[in-house]
C-alpha cells in the first residue's frame, strides 16, 4: 500500500505490454474516416485546378490564339472528368467547411448558443446568395 500512497502510480512493466499497430487501411474501417480522407484529398484536386487556372490566365498574355489552343486542350475527356471530380470535391469541402463553422465558432442568440443546424443553414444560405450574385454579374457583363 505504502508505495501507492506517495503520489506516484505504479507503472506496468513496459516489456510485457502489447503495442497494437494501426493497420494502413484504418481509413477504410469507418465511413466517417473515409469521408475525412476524401476531405483531405480534396485539397490536392483544388490545388491542381488552381495551377491550371493560373496557367490559363497566363495564356491570355500570349494572345487570343494561344488562349484558344489552351482552352481546346482542356476540353479533352480527361480534363473534363478532372473538372467534374474537382467540382464534387469542392462541394464536399464547402459543405463540410460550413458544418465545421457551426462547431468552431458558436454564435449566441441572446444568452444561449444558436442551434448548429441553424448556423449551418445560414452559412449555406449566404453561400448560395453570394454565388447567385456572382452568376448574375457574370451573365450581365458577358456582353
Contacts of another protein in 73-102 (CB under 8 A): 100
Piece of 44-52, 69-77, 104-112, 132-140 that binds another protein (CB under 8 A):
104-112
**Cβ contact 96:71 at 8 Å:** no
> What is the smallest separation between the CB atom of 27 and another protein, expressed in angstroms?
7
Report DSSP letters for 49-104, one per residue.
Answer: HHHHHHHHHHHHTT-HHHHHHHHHHHTSHHHHHHHHHHHHHHHHHHHHHHHHHHHH
Does 7 contact another protein by CB under 8 A? no
Q: For residues 72 and 85, what is the distance between their CA atoms, to the nearest angstrom?
A: 19
Q: For residues 127 and 93, what is the distance between their CA atoms, to the nearest angstrom?
A: 13
The interface mask with another protein, positions 28-47, x = CB under 8 A, is -xx-xx--x---x-------
Does 25 contact another protein by CB under 8 A? no
With H, G, I as helix, E, B as strand and everything else as coil, classify residue 111.
coil
Which of 4, 112, 139, 143 is the binder for another protein (CB under 8 A)?
A: 112
> Whose grid coordinates read 481546346?
72
> What is the smallest separation between the CB atom of 35 and another protein, expressed in angstroms?
9
Q: For residues 52 and 98, what is the distance between their CA atoms, to the nearest angstrom?
A: 26
Cβ distance to another protein smaller for residue 29 or 76 = 29
Q: Which residues bind another protein (CB under 8 A)?
A: 9, 11-14, 16-20, 22, 26-27, 29-30, 32-33, 36, 40, 100, 103-106, 111-112
Amino acid at each position: 500500500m505504502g508505495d501507492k500512497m506517495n503520489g506516484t502510480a505504479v507503472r506496468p512493466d513496459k516489456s510485457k505490454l502489447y503495442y497494437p499497430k494501426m493497420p494502413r487501411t484504418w481509413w477504410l474501417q469507418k465511413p466517417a474516416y473515409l469521408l475525412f480522407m476524401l476531405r483531405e484529398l480534396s485539397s490536392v484536386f483544388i490545388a491542381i485546378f488552381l495551377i491550371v487556372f493560373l496557367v490559363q490566365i497566363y495564356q491570355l498574355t500570349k494572345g487570343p490564339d494561344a488562349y484558344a489552343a489552351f482552352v481546346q486542350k482542356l476540353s479533352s475527356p480527361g480534363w473534363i472528368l478532372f473538372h467534374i471530380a474537382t467540382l464534387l470535391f469542392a462541394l464536399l469541402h464547402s459543405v463540410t467547411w460550413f458544418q465545421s463553422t457551426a462547431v468552431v465558432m458558436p454564435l449566441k442568440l441572446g444568452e444561449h448558443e444558436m442551434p448548429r443546424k441553424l448556423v449551418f443553414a445560414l452559412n449555406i444560405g449566404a453561400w448560395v446568395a453570394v454565388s447567385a450574385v456572382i452568376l448574375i454579374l457574370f451573365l450581365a457583363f458577358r456582353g
